[in-house]
Each structure stands twice: as structure tokens, then as C-alpha cells.
A and B are shown apart, each in its own frame.
Chain A
Amino acid sequence: MDGFESRRPQRIPQRRPWSITQQQTARGPGDDPRIGVFICHCGHNIAGYLDVAALVASARSLPFVVLAQDSLFTCSDAGLNQIRTAIAEHGLNRVVVASCTPRTHEPLFQSACDEAGLNRYLFEFVNIRDQCSWVHMEDGERATRKARDLIRMGVARAALLQPLTETELAIQPAAAVIGGGMAGMTAAGSLARRGFSVTLIEREPALGGSVRHLDTLYPNRTSARKLVEAQVAAVRAEPQIEVLTSAEVTAVRGSIGHFELEVESRQYRMKLPVQAGVVVVATGAEEWKPAGMYGYGHNPAVITQQELEERLSTGDLPPDLRSVVMIQCVGARDAHHPYCGRTCCLVAMKNAMILKEGNPACQVHVLYRDIEVYGTHFEDYYAQARELGVVFTRYTPDRPPEVVGDQGRAGDKQTPVPPGRVLVYDELLGATLAIPYDLLVLSTPMVPRPGARELAQMLKVPVDEHGFFLEAHVKLRPLDFATDGIYLCGSAHWPAHLDEAIGQALGAAARAATVLSKEQIRSSGIVSRVEESLCRGCERCATACEYGAIEFVDVTRSVEFLHRPMARGLETVHVKVARVNPMLCKGCGACAVVCPTSAMVASHFTGEQVAAMIRAALQAPAAMGEDHGTL
């Protein structure tokens, strides 16, 4: 034996057998609720402040309560046994425990119900410790009165609880990865190594994405071409990966477990269906072109970093460059794009160092606002660049650099022209520098690829105000979309260094694998459901739903109608009704609030259940003929 089980604590956290699928229990309520109430002393924690005997007596007098008991620790094995036994012996079909907080202990008691054959959603928790005995230690009498009200509320709700089903859905163990750059290839590779089949969809004729346009990569001057080639070879060699190049997603149907993508292949000149259980978005980003800024577009000596990169890789640069000026934050942190481009500082440093190493006599000036190199290695990289003699000059946005003279010195080697200069006010120096340039390189931020918005609409996932894909949660779900089954990595999310993009791609693969690893997934029972006959198809619920969990389907109804063609007798009309995908619904209940006809029901927190609690809370105890105990 591996001793695994034996080492596990027995009570909290609550444990279930290793099998992830839990036992479904069919037993629901009978005709009439038979409620058992179990009141916990929690040692001194409750019993030390509240009159538990009085609580038991008053609970016993409540409607539908057939049993009320107390115990020293309801969460102990003895306490749980007491519940299990009582369910069997007294034919309980609802269980109420009054003790601590559902946030930590609800699953424990739900499991006890499960084990005794009672659907776990027929359990109701009443918090008389954290929100009662512990906060009213000085006034046991009023605290007991409050606890009695809370128990009455719990019992009132319990009487209306319904057994809920946790829907199971078989998962198609395949992934579709959209975007065949480094991120997409990495994600596809990881999923394939995990044993899942992957369709990798790339718009361009070749895999590799934006890294294909680069020369070398920081921080170690890896050849971009070699890295891409190696990755492409690995992807091509992986039998589990099907690569579709010159292919674009044109439609997406389905949801987690069963997506169907329609992919238009220019290669095969046809639309191919791609089936997948999950989708990974890795469509990348591209360099923004600063048309009209600093002479870009009409002055051939003004280029972008990516254009410099291409020239470096083709060797298409004059050998006698004497002065190169790089301007950072062109179109970033300004009215064009309010954000920082994240990668541009390092790109500039790397290219500056290459220029400097190739020709130490060449002056390289980097005009920056803030040097965005964070972490360990990048900061060193910055130091290296300074060491090599790259000059960093800070400018402020209210006095941006200015280009005078229309042409760089390298513009025409035969006939010298008056040199172009970049004027920059160095705030830290308190002076304006005039820096001659042969080549002016503009560092611009990455922007979303064209088509990103359309893809987002197809997938029904959001993009942010800049057009980058918007993750489910900025802090804790950076690689997920709010809609389950769709994941995100690389610069499609936000400009990323290659290292980061690769890490995110692996991460997105892991997130996707959490779904694909299961033969089936199980929803919570607490999901909204639709009473179809009441649904008017107005779509207010879908507007309220953040998770894309509600879709509308056409159903046909036979009607004796309609209007003009009176004599036609029975005819069929199409009406739109809402359907809730229990795999996507998170049970927040927002849809039920906006539904005009009560067609949408927020299970486990229905209007009736809440109303019953409200009434029970405010009911004068005397009116109920309830036993007051000693109060």
C-alpha cells in the first residue's frame, strides 16, 4: 500500500474517494418534507453562549420538522453518524445543520447526506457560530433568539429545497489551437505530449508567427530562425497534431466538450469542420506602424524596430552607420495607445547591442521614457547595453524628441547631405541634445492582429478596450476566458516576451488539459434552468449572463392561428426559447432577476426559497405557535 489514504486527515478538509465522479443519489423529497434539525454545541463555542436546549425545543415545533437533536460536535464522526442514522431511521428527506459556516463545512455534511442516500442539495446549513454565538458573546438571550430565527429560516428554506442533478458531459479529447506562432505551437506540442489530438490552425502559409520576422532573440541571441525551425519540425513530427496552414476560422459552434469550428482552408479550397473539446487562442499580435510620425513613411532613414530586425537578418544595412537613434514609446503611453508596449525596451536594447557589436564606432542613442526591463536577467541585459556604450537618454512626453533635417546621413552615400538631427530635451540634464542620425528607429507597441475582434465574436469571448483578448480574471485566471473550455496565451492576451509567451502557452495547455483529461465533466447542481413554456425569448437573461451560458433555440409550436390565413387550420410557428448550458452556468442567478416571466429559475436560490426565509425571519414566533423554550 502506498499509505496515501492513511495519512490523510479524516475530517477537514473533506475527502472523497479518489474517483472524481461522485455518487449520484436519486432519493429526493417524498410527498411531504420530513426535516431533521441537528444543532451543534461546537464544544463551548455555541453552547457556551446560546441556550441549545431551547433551540432544540423550538426547532422541534417548526413545520415539517420530525426530529431535532443536538450534539457536541456535529462535524465529528459521531455527529455525522447521527445524521446518517437519522436519515434512515426517521425517513428524513431534508437535513438542517445549525453550526458553523457553510464556507468550510457544507461539503462535509452534504457528503454525509449523500452517503445516507439523500441528494446533497436537500441539505441546509444554518450558521449560528461565526455569525451568532461568536459575535454576540455578551448577550446570550438575544443571541439565542437570533439563532432561533436563523434556524426557523433554514427550516423554511429546507422545506422548499429540491433535489438537483449534476449534469455530466462527455468530453471530446481533442483541442483546436488557433494561431501557429511560437505560442500556438508550444501549446499544441504540450497537449500532444499529453496524449490529446490537436488541430493547429494558422492563417499564414507557414507556421512561426511573428518570430519568423525576427533576427535574434534576447537574452541569449538565439537565432530566431533556428528556434522556429526546430519548433516547426517538432510539431510536424508529432502525429497527434494536424496542421492546417492558410486556414482561418470562419464559424464556431458548440461549447466546452464539443466545439465545432468551421475552418476555411485556402490550401484545400474548402471549409473543413474541426471538432474539439477545448479551444486555445494563440493568435499573437503585430507591430504598430507609426505612419507620419518622425517622418516614418516618407523619410527612408526612419524605420521601425521590426524593419531594423528584418534588415539585420538579411544583412541589408549600410556598413558605415555612424549614428543610430532609437525612440521608445512611439505610439505607446500616448493618445494612440495608452499602454506600455512591454517588449519594446528589450528589443531596442538587443538591436542596439547588435549594432554596437558589429560596429563599435557607431553611436547608438536610445531615447526612452522609462526603461521597462524587469526581473533578474533583463536588468542585467540593460547593464550590458550600457556597458557596450549604448547611450540612454530620458525624455518626457510633454517635450517629445523632434526630428530636424529630413534625411539621415546614410540616406545617400554618394552625395553628402546636411545631416539630420534628433533634438531631445533631457529633463534630467536640463538641456536639449542634438543627436545626428543615419538611421532613426522607432519602437512601437504591439497591437492586436486584424481579425481578433471577429474571432472574439465567433467564440463569444470579450476583448479589452485595446482589442486584446480579455481573460476571465486579471489576477488569478490569466489564461482562461470566463467561458469555460476556451483558453488564451501569448501576445493575443497582451504583448509578451517570447519566454513569457512560451510559458503562457504551456500554461494554457495545462488549463485545457484539465478539461481534456476527464472523460466527462460534471456541472454543479446549482445552475439556472428554464421553464420553456414561460420563456418569451426576449434574451434579457442572455444579456445578464457573463458566461455565455444561455443560448436560444428555435422550437416549433403548433398553433391554431394565425391571423390572415384563417382557413389554414393548425400551423407551426417557430419560437425562440432560452436554454441553459449547465456546463457554463455558474449559478449566480442574475438571469432569474431579469427574467420577466419567471421562466428562468435560479436553482437552490429560487424566489420561493428566499421568500420563505424572509417570511420566516420576520414572522412573530407567537404567530407560528412556536415553542419559545425558556425565552
Chain B
Amino acid sequence: MNEVLVIGAGIAGIQAALDLAEQGLRVHLVERLPSIGGRMAQLDKTFPTNDCSTCILAPKMVDCSRHPNIVPHTYSEVEAVEGEAGQFDVRVRKRARYVDETRCTGCGECASKCPRKVPDAFNLGLSQRRAIYLYFPQAVPMVMTIDPEQCTYLQRGKCGLCAQVCEAGAIDFEQQDLLLDLCVDAIVVATGFDFYNPAPLTQYGYQRYPNVITALEYERLISASGPTGGHLLRPSDGQPAKKIGFIQCTGSRHVRHNRYCSTVCCVHAIKEATLAWEHDHDADSYVFYTDLRGSGKGFREYMDRAGRAYGVTYVHGRVAQIFELGPGSDSAGETHKPVIRYEDATTGRVAEMAVDLAVLATSLVPAHDAPLLAGILGIDMDEYGFVKTEPFSPADTSRPGIVACGCCLGPADIPQSVAQASAAAARAAEIAWELVRPRHREKG
């Protein structure tokens, strides 16, 4: 039977893997992180339906993990690719978890005893996890992972509490990385994106001002399974945020940062504003935009509804700067209140607005290791660092046999990514099928 490699197990990779597996192809699904799920797992709800992200994603993750034609390789990375369409030789490094996947039940008893606390990457450092951890509560596979950098035992040979409490005997400090050699007909690249680190935009004060956060951080804050249990609390003092400013195009449509439009941020911000209102009907949100973009199905109605009914005000104007209310300001006692300065485009005058929380809509940028992966795969990237395709041939990369989908191609919303994933699956399946149809393929 023909095999296909899918790199990246976010929603695009999952969909591509399922579509391929359901066509009878064997799929190796390689994911760098300890769990499949990708960015979507970090989202609270999804626009324009406000569907609970986990509710719709989790069943797909489980389908993926149970599918007889899919082998998920989590905590694994592709290291080398050689050959050509129909005969790619791929080396995958399966990193040591120091936990036996076949024994671990994901019960978390070990984590409750682990003394070492570190920032939780899944929650963007807004909460803490232990050195042995479950990547997130609905992780697939539901197994623990030891962070070798943080584990006292692996670092200094002391502790080992986790091994003591694990009744399944799953802790294995001797575990080594595993190298897998795969032979596949086609490769689907679905490695997704990163969020732009807005630090270079010093005028917004990110990381300098505690109440200036990114849209993804906001997402974790408002998520019921997030660090605050879904309460929208200001990082500075844990007080509820009542007035929220959304700073669009943070790094996007900017020739010195990312000159493209990140596609999803307008509707994403409006969704986040809507959620604020759902949690607290007194919440007011202001969306500072350049163009308010939402041409997807149902988006414009969603935006109009938010403006009419959910306390969302749209302000035309890109934010120039964010300050913090200083000690001598009018609102005594209020500290760390971000003040947004912008041009009120309708009057042409500078205006300021104090808010409880300023949320930066940071650009979607190529994954940090995209250049490395492009080198390994031998595919061309476009001028922005996303995987390059030709017009009217949306799934094919520059190297025959390798196709791509999702945000590694550029910013895209979830339905776009899912549709692209199916398209990539179609092309990959065509390639695999092309090879069996003449029935002259030699045994490898």
C-alpha cells in the first residue's frame, strides 16, 4: 500500500491525513509538539459561528489517532528527505519523551508530584506547568512528556519522584531519541505559522506594559480551559477588563515588518470582542483598524452584528502608540492602564483612549523553522518566507511530489485551511495513484 507523509498535525495536517487515510493510503503524521491539534487547540471559540474550538477539533484529533491508516509520530521532526515523487526516503527523529507511550495513561499523578515548575508554553507562559507535563488537557496522545531541560533528574540525577509515583511504570529516564526511516510516495507540508513577536514595535509597549497582550494571549485568557478559567482578567492586577482596545495590523500591512495582510485578524479581533461581551455585557470593545476586512462566508454579517449588538465599536485609524497612565494622571489609583493614541480619521485629530486591556493583532508569520524545513524538503519559499505555489495550482510546491496546505502557504482562516488540506490530499493521492496505476512500480 502506498504511503504519504504529512508534516504538521494542526487542523490542516489532520484534515489532509484523514482525507488520505480514508482513500486507503497509509499516512505518517509527524508533529513536532507532544500532541496533535496545532493552533486551533489554543483557541477558545471560532468565528463566525462562535463554535467552541475544542468541541469541534477534539473529535477530529481522536479520529486521527484511531484511524487504522494513520500513524501519528508526535514529538517528532523530519530531518532529511531524499529521492523523488513516488520514492521519498524520509528520516524522522522521534524525540525521547522519557515516558513510555504504551504504558502512560496520562493520569497526571506524576505532574502533581513533580516539584519543578516552569512556564506553560501552551498557555503562552500565562500559567505554569511542571517539568513532566501533559501538553494540554485534551492532548492526543494522552501521554506525559518530560522536559529534559527542566527535569532535575535528567539534569542532575536527583529527584525521580515521578518514577516513584507512576504505578504504570511509564517513566523511562533512559529513553533515547528514535530514528525512523520512512519511504513515502508524496509529502504534504502543513507546518502552519507563528505569531509575529511584536517586540520590535516598541511603540506598543508589549512586554513593557503588563496590560498590553497579544490576541493569542487574549485567547488563552478568555478560554474556559485557560489559566484564568475563562475570566478576562488584567494581567497587572487580576481585575476584570471592562474596556478593551484591539490594535489591528500589529506588524501586518507594514513595509518594514510584514507587508502582507494577515487575513484573519479583523474577524478574529471581532470574535474576541464578542466573547468579552458574552462574558460581561458591560464590556466595551474598540477595534482600531486600517481596513475592516471580512469577505468570508458570513463574516460581514458577523461584524455588523457585533457592532450593532455586542458592544463593539469600530474605529478607523491605525494606532500610533500605546502609553501607560502615569502616576500623576487623572485616574488616580488606576495603574498600568494602557492609553491608545490614534488619529480619529473622521476629525483628522489625534485622540487618546484609556483601556483596561490592549490586544495586539499580531501578524501571522512563517513558522520559525520554515527556512530549515524548506532546505530539508528542497522546496522554494516565496518572498515572505511562506511555501511558494504557482497561481491556479494552489497545492503544488516547486518540488514534484511535495504539496502544501494551511498557513505554511500564507495566512488563512480555518475553513480555508481545511479546504486547502483536502486539496493537498487530492494532489498527494493523485501522485500515489499515478504510481500504482501503471502497475510497474518496482519494489523499493
**Interface residues in chain A, defined as those with a beta carbon under 8 Å from any beta carbon in chain B:** 2-4, 7-20, 41-45, 72-73, 75-76, 100, 103-104, 107, 190, 193-195, 217, 219-220, 222, 227, 333, 338-342, 370-380, 383, 427-428, 430, 464, 468, 473-479, 493-495, 498-500, 502-511, 513-514, 517-518
| Closest B residue to A338 using CB positions | B301
Contact indicator B395/A503 (Cβ below 8 Å)? yes
Contacts of B3 in A (CB 8 A): 4
Q: In the complex, which of the residues B261, B295, B384, B418 contacts A478, with contact meaning CB atoms closer than 8 Å?
A: B418
Q: Does B134 contact A (CB under 8 A)?
A: no
Contact indicator B49/A195 (Cβ below 8 Å)? no
Contact indicator B105/A100 (Cβ below 8 Å)? yes
Identify the 4 closest CB pairs spanning chains A and B, nearest first: A43-B167, A507-B422, A13-B65, A514-B22
CA distance A149 to B433 in the complex (A): 54
Most A CB contacts (10 A, CB to CB) among B26, B107, B411, B420 go to B107
Contacts of A20 in B (CB 8 A): 24, 68-69
Contact indicator A510/B426 (Cβ below 8 Å)? yes
B244 to chain A, nearest CB (A): 22
Contact indicator A507/B423 (Cβ below 8 Å)? yes
CA distance A103 to B58 in the complex (A): 10
Most A CB contacts (10 A, CB to CB) among B51, B295, B296 go to B295
Q: In the complex, which of the residues B141, B291, B419 contacts A479, with contact meaning CB atoms closer than 8 Å?
A: B419
> Besides the contacts A13-B66, A195-B433, what 6 more A-B pairs have beta carbons closer than 8 Å?
A13-B72, A338-B301, A375-B410, A376-B384, A376-B410, A476-B60
CA distance A508 to B419 in the complex (A): 8
A612 to chain B, nearest CB (A): 27
Contacts of A73 in B (CB 8 A): 105, 167-168
Contact indicator B71/A4 (Cβ below 8 Å)? yes
Contacts of B293 in A (CB 8 A): 370-372, 374
Contact indicator B56/A473 (Cβ below 8 Å)? yes
| Closest B residue to A374 using CB positions | B263
Q: Does B437 contact A (CB under 8 A)?
A: yes
Contact indicator B421/A475 (Cβ below 8 Å)? no
For the A-B complex, the count of residue pairs with Cβ-Cβ distances under 8 Å equals: 243
Contact indicator B297/A493 (Cβ below 8 Å)? yes
Contact indicator B62/A370 (Cβ below 8 Å)? no
Q: In the complex, which of the residues A18, A220, A493 contacts B68, with contact meaning CB atoms closer than 8 Å?
A: A18
Q: In the complex, which of the residues A8, A380, A513 contacts B260, with contact meaning CB atoms closer than 8 Å?
A: A380
Contact indicator A2/B260 (Cβ below 8 Å)? no
Contacts of A333 in B (CB 8 A): 300
| Closest A residue to B347 using CB positions | A430
Q: Interface with A: B204-212, B278-286, B386-394, which one?
A: B386-394
Q: Does B101 contact A (CB under 8 A)?
A: yes
Q: Which of B280-321 contact A (CB under 8 A)?
A: 291-301, 304, 316
Contact indicator B140/A13 (Cβ below 8 Å)? yes
Q: Does B118 contact A (CB under 8 A)?
A: no
Tell whether A427 pairs with B300 under 8 Å between CB atoms, given A8-B71, A379-B260, A504-B423: no
Contact indicator A502/B105 (Cβ below 8 Å)? no
Contact indicator A474/B48 (Cβ below 8 Å)? yes
Q: In the complex, which of the residues B66, B142, B316 contacts A428, with contact meaning CB atoms closer than 8 Å?
A: B316
| Closest A residue to B385 using CB positions | A376
Contacts of B24 in A (CB 8 A): 20, 517-518
A378 to chain B, nearest CB (A): 7
Contact indicator B297/A468 (Cβ below 8 Å)? yes
Q: Which of B22-57 contact A (CB under 8 A)?
A: 22-24, 26, 46, 48-49, 51, 56-57
Contact indicator B295/A340 (Cβ below 8 Å)? yes
Contacts of B109 in A (CB 8 A): 43-45
| Closest B residue to A14 using CB positions | B66
Contact indicator A43/B382 (Cβ below 8 Å)? no
Contacts of A10 in B (CB 8 A): 102
Q: Does B340 contact A (CB under 8 A)?
A: no
CA distance A379 to B386 in the complex (A): 15
B302 to chain A, nearest CB (A): 10
Contacts of B304 in A (CB 8 A): 338
27 contacts between A and B (CB under 8 A): A13-B62, A16-B68, A42-B107, A43-B105, A43-B166, A45-B109, A190-B430, A193-B434, A195-B437, A217-B391, A339-B298, A340-B300, A372-B294, A375-B410, A428-B316, A428-B346, A430-B346, A468-B297, A476-B60, A476-B418, A503-B394, A503-B395, A506-B426, A510-B425, A510-B429, A513-B429, A514-B22
Q: Does B351 contact A (CB under 8 A)?
A: no
A422 to chain B, nearest CB (A): 21
A209 to chain B, nearest CB (A): 14
A257 to chain B, nearest CB (A): 15
**Interface residues in chain B, defined as those with a beta carbon under 8 Å from any beta carbon in chain A:** 1, 3, 11, 15, 19, 22-24, 26, 46, 48-49, 51, 56-57, 60, 62, 65-66, 68-69, 71-72, 101-103, 105, 107, 109, 140-143, 165-168, 180-181, 183, 253, 259-263, 291-301, 304, 316, 345-348, 382, 384, 386, 391-395, 410-412, 414-416, 418-427, 429-430, 433-434, 437
CA distance A84 to B242 in the complex (A): 58
CA distance A19 to B183 in the complex (A): 20
A259 to chain B, nearest CB (A): 19
CA distance A46 to B437 in the complex (A): 54
Contact indicator A375/B392 (Cβ below 8 Å)? no
CA distance A476 to B53 in the complex (A): 10
A385 to chain B, nearest CB (A): 14
Contact indicator A508/B345 (Cβ below 8 Å)? no
Contact indicator B430/A45 (Cβ below 8 Å)? no
A293 to chain B, nearest CB (A): 19
CA distance A563 to B392 in the complex (A): 69
Contact indicator B253/A379 (Cβ below 8 Å)? yes
| Closest A residue to B20 using CB positions | A510
CA distance A217 to B390 in the complex (A): 13
Tell whether A475 pairs with B418 under 8 Å between CB atoms, given A4-B71, A13-B72: yes
Tell whether A375 pairs with B299 under 8 Å between CB atoms, given A10-B102, A190-B426, A514-B19: no
Contact indicator B68/A503 (Cβ below 8 Å)? no
Contacts of B298 in A (CB 8 A): 339, 464, 474
CA distance A10 to B102 in the complex (A): 6
Contact indicator B394/A9 (Cβ below 8 Å)? no
B102 to chain A, nearest CB (A): 5
Contact indicator A474/B415 (Cβ below 8 Å)? yes
Contact indicator A376/B386 (Cβ below 8 Å)? yes
B335 to chain A, nearest CB (A): 35
| Closest B residue to A494 using CB positions | B297
CA distance A334 to B192 in the complex (A): 36
Most B CB contacts (10 A, CB to CB) among A42, A342, A372, A494 go to A372
Q: In the complex, which of the residues B71, B261, B395, B437 contacts A506, with contact meaning CB atoms closer than 8 Å?
A: B395
B413 to chain A, nearest CB (A): 9
Contacts of B296 in A (CB 8 A): 342, 494
Contact indicator B49/A474 (Cβ below 8 Å)? yes
B41 to chain A, nearest CB (A): 13
B181 to chain A, nearest CB (A): 8
| Closest A residue to B299 using CB positions | A340
CA distance A505 to B433 in the complex (A): 18
Contact indicator B261/A499 (Cβ below 8 Å)? no
Q: In the complex, which of the residues B141, B143, B391 contacts A220, with contact meaning CB atoms closer than 8 Å?
A: B391
Contact indicator B291/A371 (Cβ below 8 Å)? yes
Contact indicator B411/A13 (Cβ below 8 Å)? no
